[in-house]
Amino acid sequence: MDTRKDTGTFQPPPGVMETKPAVVRVMTWNIHGSVGLDGQRDRQRIVDFIRRQDPDIIALQEVGSRKSDPAAQEDFAFFASALGNHAIESRLITAPDGNYGHAIISRWPLRQTCCHDISYRRREPRAAIEATTETPSGTLHIVAAHLGLSFAERRHQTRLLAALVRSGPEPTVLLGDLNDWLGRGSVQTTLNALFPGHSHLKTFPSFYPLFPLDRVYCRPRTMLLESWTDPAARIASDHLPVIATIGMKHDGENQRDL
């Protein structure tokens, strides 16, 4: 088993899958409407890859397909039922032929949920999902996002995300597809300063990952214990997932680590 860390080409080391009372596992994945590199739309394949990582909290982007079989169960409900039941969704496109957006799914109930509009001018609608959940080791503030494709759009959205994070409680985890590949671009400059702990795994395109579009950001810095991806999941989407274990501490310890 390959145990190299933060390279985007390894599996978690032995023992990572074990449940630890002060550790939470998070995952983010752009599932491309459940359409894989083989051109097949297979929602159960997505579920199977997620289950093998056993995350407590999942952020999924590009949920739904406007080419779905009308007789099939609606995608948001399908994934919530299969992966946790506690879910909040943001349907960015709602049409007679299907819905499209992103979601947070949690092992534990989600509280103080809100979808914040971060759309930019006449670009595609975008939203940030915010929630808190009570883990066995304390309250966790969660933000999930799928940022836009233009530089100006991402700059605008990153400023809104930063304000949202600063106004919320600690500890915080930000999950999502940030569509940003520039090491010194506005997204990374802003978020790396705000979130001292962050992954930087290459996830896109899944068949030969070159760009770290999908990220896990943690605040305070000591929360991020390790992160990895699952190369086998390349068949299921055009992005690879990012999985991370984060450590939960008492409030006093969190404040000292900022």
With beta carbons less than 8 A apart as the criterion, state whether 188 and 158 touch.
no
pLDDT of the residue at 91: 84
For residue 251, the model assigns a pLDDT of 47
Please give the Cα distance from 226 to 132 (Å, whole number).
Answer: 22
Question: What distance, in Å, lies between the first and last C-alpha atoms of the chain?
Answer: 34
**pLDDT value, residue 95:** 64
Instruction: Supply the pTM of this predicted model.
Output: 0.85
CA distances from 225 to 55, 79, 246 (A): 15, 27, 5
- Can you list the residues of the chain whose pLDDT is less than 50? 1-21, 250-257
Q: Spell out the domains of the chain, with CATH numbers in brackets.
A: 23-257 (3.60.10.10)
Packing angle of the helix pair 43-53, 75-83 (nearest 10 deg): 30
pLDDT at 56: 97
CA distance 43 to 33: 8
Instruction: Return the pLDDT at 124.
Output: 82
Res 41: pLDDT: 92
C-alpha pair distances (Å), 80 with each of 14, 47, 55, 196, 221: 29, 10, 13, 31, 30
Rounded Cα distance between 102 and 239, Å, is: 15
DSSP letters of 57-86? EEEEEEE--TT--TTSPPHHHHHHHHHTSE
Q: How does DSSP assign 193-219, residue by residue?
A: HH-SEE-----BSTTS--B--EEEEEE
